[in-house]
Amino acid sequence: MAGSVLLFLYLGNNQALYVLFVVLFGIGYGASYPILAAMAANDADEALVPQALQLFALTYFIGIFGFPLAAGWLIVDVGTGALLVLVIAMAAIEATMAVFRARGVA
């Protein structure tokens, strides 16, 4: 997902490549919900799995519907470049957290 945003930032004017970047972004974004839900279930105590999944779903959908509001404000007040930088930064943070998780640090 971060790679597709970076590619879009630098090569977004090319229509053929734009379609490729959108597909890459969609695959990364679409795969995130089931993977994150499974991680939440695996990390929760067995007795708390239903509550963990409900809390995950609530926070995920707050993000899904809240981020467009924040992104719209950012685009109007600062511009699209700032939004792309924010998305890249958030994707980099997510990737860093995944690396720490894989290493067993967090």
Containing structural domain, residue 91: 2-103
Count of domains forming the chain:
1
- Sequence-ordered list of residues with C-beta below 8 angstroms from that of 97, at least 6 positions apart, any chain: 106
Q: What is the pLDDT along the chain (106 residues), one digit of tens a residue?
A: 778 888 888 787 888 888 888 888 888 878 888 988 998 999 899 999 999 999 999 998 898 899 999 999 999 999 999 999 999 999 999 899 889 888 877 5
Residue 87 buriedness (CB in 10 A; 0-12 / 13-18 / 19+): buried
**What CA–CA distances, in Å, run from 78 to 31, 33, 50, 90?**
30, 29, 40, 17
CB 23 within 8 A of CB 3: no
